[in-house]
Structure 1
């Protein structure tokens, strides 16, 4: 189709004329601003006599984005404001193209610090802050009774405020919606589904347990009572088995209980407690406390980390006599008392795209391979100890405990040879 007159397209953007082709505009995709102008074969839907399409937007930003579609490379002139360029890219529906041009597919071994966000509200310090990455590169930071939502440009959106009720946890349902849970009732319930961009409350659950929402309607369609599964403090979805893993941590005695749930039948298909493991393994004393637990479906296992950042695994296929197999690490294990004095910045775990990530002090370690070999570390001098981190939208977000700051790490494109 390239080279024929019908392939040429002319735009008048804010008084400046641009000429391009349908072939170039097709790079933007059907869901973009330009996709609405063409039929399924990328032929102009308008009358052939109309040769110019007027767009009442800034031509300087349009030119940068048009060159991106032409070359697949992003060049931002010195006089162009990045924040406004991102806004224009969102308007034209090509923000994903900008993201792809700025950073490569996520790889924990090639991460570089992209930006930092400061000036968060410190709160009253009673509860440990947490950070959750969204699937679109947004993030949500919970502190005390509020949840701060930041978009891909790290611009803050309206705050989700629970009116002095403690935020227990937050979870991204999709790119548009966030579930916020509390130990106390929110208006009519203990969990609320909020719109991420506006902070609007869409629905609530008035029971204590695990709510199930329809992503399209935002309505609660099911509910799992806690009386069977215990007081779950962390929920994680297992895509391969369509099951939900509920983990309960007990701070006083350090015990940990893990349940695997089939929510379609409202039944528990696996239950594990480290109390049994401590009876069978006497060297695991009461001083050893699990601080995080994640499922790794690729190896049919559950990965755990203790206060000293020591890694262990539990076989998912062993539902009765499973024990923890601890990994001997060569790194410096810090005594647990170190963490207690630093805003409860305990080790955390994340598994992403075949790589295992574990935080300790001011660094995040990356493990690869079937034996989880330490391959690299992410570390930044400012901000102090890392109290939480999360990965989503090809980004790693690290929340520091000593200062009101979080870092954003991305994978740069390899240099052109």
Structure 2
């Protein structure tokens, strides 16, 4: 086990003196504000041990964060504004410590409603709004020709505006950038890369000549900087293309004739496959496929109707509204037309049946499964999960809910 020196360190924060040890500061990590005070062996630099360090920040917030490093527990006094505490935590590079102290890892059975955001002004109802969770607890809500971006503390940033072109989908590339697709043809700039915090357009993607006739819909990104896009031609041909974000070039295209137009794409990092979900408007069926682009093949598929040709199949005869894979639990989370949440075990190779969680109107039940339909917001039209947060967008009102998993009480 690595040992840390117990040299004392003195800080002058906004005129108030704080004393701590190298052991406490080392908890913040190398990438934090305090990491520069250590060498590669986690020893304090010689000048750091004897110098009083002045920091021109609010001492009240510093004291709360220092206690967090000391104890691993976060106590926010009533006089402390949480919004500014988060901003100072980001300044010191320990925002992840604050998040982990407040919330546990994602657990669908223990989720609690953390906050509801209203006043989206989602438009005139012509277009269905959508929500996309992003890294670091951010999210993006798209409606019509605009996309609203919210940060960790759920403050709204400048909107992304496509100048009256419909937003088809948004996809977080990383914590700073969002890719947005529109109903414009790809060759005419139908996909753009925007800065999340400012709404600034940074780049328009280009395609090969054979893709000039296509428009782009649903998007997804992989960890190795590949962008996947569902697209459709004017002759109603569907496919899934791949861009290399490093070179900016299109590198692959897989025809997707089997199930038609994909309604959701999600990259699965553990299996290096793309999950494509199709909701068929004619027969109201749902198909879930796993696509391996290394071999350009479909390696697995499910359907919510029995089919003598395709197996495995989902045995429940319900209709799905949405589908999200949760790799940590090797499962696919599904929402049906009755607002029930269920899961499909990805490890099953014979029968991909759904294990359902029944919803209830009993508000004393604190789990997300028990309150999936909030009476104040109506039915859920879209939801998204990233990290330890679930975002649920309601269809009846201009509102979305943020769900988190609380930490177990300290014994």
Q: Same fold (TM over 0.5)?
A: yes
Give the Cα–Cα distance (whole angstroms) in 2 for the partners of residues 336 and 23 of structure 1. 38
Give the Cα–Cα distance (whole angstroms) in 2 for the partners of residues 109 and 55 of structure 1. 42
Check conservation: 2:339, 2:373, Cα contact below 8 A: no
Check conservation: 1:208, 1:226, Cα contact below 8 A: yes
Q: For structure 1, which segment, 265-274 or 98-107, has the greater mean C-alpha deviation from structure 2 after superposition?
A: 265-274
- What's the offset of the Cα at 1:395? 1.6
Give the Cα–Cα distance (whole angstroms) in 1 for the partners of residues 31 and 367 of structure 2. 53
Match of 2:380 among 380, 386, 390: 386
- What's the offset of the Cα at 1:379? 5.2
1:3-33 Cα offsets, whole Å, 9 max, x none, are 9997111112222222111100011111111
Check conservation: 1:73, 1:101, Cα contact below 8 A: yes
Q: For structure 1, which segment, 45-54 or 288-297, has the greater mean C-alpha deviation from structure 2 after superposition?
A: 288-297
Q: Is residue 260 from structure 1 mapped to residue 260 from structure 2 by the alignment?
A: no
Q: 1:235 to 1:275 in 2, by over 3 A?
A: same
- What's the offset of the Cα at 1:408? 1.3
Partner of residue 90, structure 2: 90
How many residues align structurally? 381
Check conservation: 1:145, 1:164, Cα contact below 8 A: yes
Q: 1:245 to 1:334 in 2, by over 3 A?
A: farther
Q: For structure 1, which segment, 196-205 or 42-51, has the greater mean C-alpha deviation from structure 2 after superposition?
A: 196-205
Q: 1:319 to 1:248 in 2, by over 3 A?
A: farther
- What's the offset of the Cα at 1:192? 2.8
1:95-145 Cα offsets, whole Å, 9 max, x none, are 111112222233222222221111102212111111122232111111122
- What's the offset of the Cα at 1:251? 1.5
- What's the offset of the Cα at 1:222? 4.5
Q: For structure 1, which segment, 293-302 or 3-12, has the greater mean C-alpha deviation from structure 2 after superposition?
A: 293-302
Q: 1:266 to 1:38 in 2, by over 3 A?
A: same
Check conservation: 1:25, 1:69, Cα contact below 8 A: yes
* Stretches of structure 1 lacking an aligned partner (at least 5 in a row): 340-375
RMSD: 5.8
How high is the TM-score relative to the length of structure 1? 0.72
Give the Cα–Cα distance (whole angstroms) in 1 for the partners of residues 343 and 16 of structure 2. 61
- What's the offset of the Cα at 1:175? 2.9
SS at match of 2:171: strand
Q: For structure 1, which segment, 271-280 or 92-101, has the greater mean C-alpha deviation from structure 2 after superposition?
A: 271-280
Give the Cα–Cα distance (whole angstroms) in 1 for the partners of residues 365 and 69 of structure 2. 53
Give the Cα–Cα distance (whole angstroms) in 2 for the partners of residues 87 and 240 of structure 1. 33
Q: 1:11 to 1:222 in 2, by over 3 A?
A: farther
Partner of residue 187, structure 1: 187
Q: 1:25 to 1:260 in 2, by over 3 A?
A: same
Q: 1:173 to 1:218 in 2, by over 3 A?
A: farther
Q: 1:189 to 1:231 in 2, by over 3 A?
A: farther
- What's the offset of the Cα at 1:167? 2.0
- What's the offset of the Cα at 1:383? 1.8
- What's the offset of the Cα at 1:180? 2.3
Check conservation: 1:272, 1:319, Cα contact below 8 A: no
Q: Is residue 128 from structure 1 mapped to residue 131 from structure 2 by the alignment?
A: no
Q: Is residue 289 from structure 1 mapped to residue 319 from structure 2 by the alignment?
A: yes
SS at match of 2:85: helix
SS at match of 2:137: coil
* Stretches of structure 2 lacking an aligned partner (at least 5 in a row): 202-231
SS at match of 2:6: helix
Q: 1:268 to 1:335 in 2, by over 3 A?
A: farther
1:265-305 Cα offsets, whole Å, 9 max, x none, are 43444566678739999999999754334557799887766
Q: 1:306 to 1:180 in 2, by over 3 A?
A: same
- What's the offset of the Cα at 1:49? 8.0
Q: For structure 1, which segment, 135-144 or 256-265, has the greater mean C-alpha deviation from structure 2 after superposition?
A: 256-265
Q: For structure 1, which segment, 298-307 or 265-274, has the greater mean C-alpha deviation from structure 2 after superposition?
A: 298-307
- What's the offset of the Cα at 1:153? 0.2
- What's the offset of the Cα at 1:93? 0.5
- What's the offset of the Cα at 1:74? 1.7
Q: For structure 1, which segment, 394-403 or 288-297, has the greater mean C-alpha deviation from structure 2 after superposition?
A: 288-297
SS at match of 1:276: coil
Give the Cα–Cα distance (whole angstroms) in 2 for the partners of residues 207 and 34 of structure 1. 55
Check conservation: 1:259, 1:270, Cα contact below 8 A: yes
- What's the offset of the Cα at 1:88? 0.5
Partner of residue 389, structure 2: 395
Check conservation: 1:290, 1:306, Cα contact below 8 A: yes
Q: For structure 1, which segment, 271-280 or 209-218, has the greater mean C-alpha deviation from structure 2 after superposition?
A: 271-280
Partner of residue 316, structure 1: 346
Q: 1:286 to 1:33 in 2, by over 3 A?
A: closer
Give the Cα–Cα distance (whole angstroms) in 1 for the partners of residues 292 and 255 of structure 2. 13
Give the Cα–Cα distance (whole angstroms) in 2 for the partners of residues 3 and 326 of structure 1. 48
